[in-house]
Chains A and B, each alone.
Chain A
């Protein structure tokens, strides 16, 4: 006998004997709402961690921009010093 055929007949019979639709147990909705309110959402910590990471990234980005601008202004100042120094040297030479 084909096992596939046996399995299909077994499943057909089992499907016909499906238990009646489950009725909601008494007080189930009250228990669910109480549990949902008392237990913190599992995503809460993940959400907090994500926010902290975003703020940290923003701080790093701002610090990076600040450092870059400072380095540009430093190099400008350096070139100004070099020009002044060069002019003084030229004047002294004359």
Chain B
């Protein structure tokens, strides 16, 4: 949400029981929450269900919002924590084999290995799907960090603000995740 003052005003009104303000707050924050939820690539819970869990927590703890951080940061931290605890049970992460890839994805990875050219525009959706399959093999924290840094193109400082994690945690998680993905890509080439 760009206008934090507006968001704070909505929070104040929602605290006083203003239904219209609460609905407006949900509408404005939905894209932010949906992005975070999508970044976790949950296999069991639907995105909409996870987003609903996040918003329920936001409204249950609305009185605890101190106003020190922007509303969007507070909400994104709740989203990150909700997704993490939800995904903690999903310990089994699928292994990715070449047989799991579509023909288009196999051609894409072979093309990437054979040339230094960027991915053709018509292969970008296959690339997206392949990246999501690769991310699904990582731990939830690693998934989210790579999603935010590489797919949402956020800086480490932004990831820190949104998650509440230290710069070291963000960097170490990204480093480990990259190492794992390098290995996985090696098995696919």
Contacts and interface: CB of A to CB of B under 8 A. Distances in A.
A43 B132 CA distance: 35
Interface residues of A, number: 34
A5 B152 CA distance: 19
Tell me the dominant secondary structure on chain B's binding face. Answer: helix
Interface string A3-17: 111110111111111
Given A15-B153, A21-B31, A32-B26, A7 B181 contact: yes
Nearest to B186: A3
Contact of B38 (A3, A22, A35): A22
Interface string B31-44: 10011001000000
Contacts of B131: 10-11, 14
Contacts of A31: 52
B130 interface: yes
Contact of B151 (A9, A14, A22, A24): A14
Interface residues of B, number: 49
Nearest to B120: A13
21 contacts: A5-B116, A6-B109, A6-B189, A7-B178, A10-B119, A10-B127, A11-B131, A11-B146, A13-B127, A14-B132, A15-B150, A15-B153, A17-B125, A17-B127, A19-B128, A21-B34, A29-B27, A35-B52, A39-B56, A42-B57, A42-B60
Interface of B: 19, 22-23, 26-27, 30-31, 34-35, 38, 47-48, 51-52, 55-57, 59-61, 64, 108-109, 112-114, 116, 118-119, 121, 123-125, 127-128, 130-132, 146, 150-153, 178, 181-182, 185-186, 189
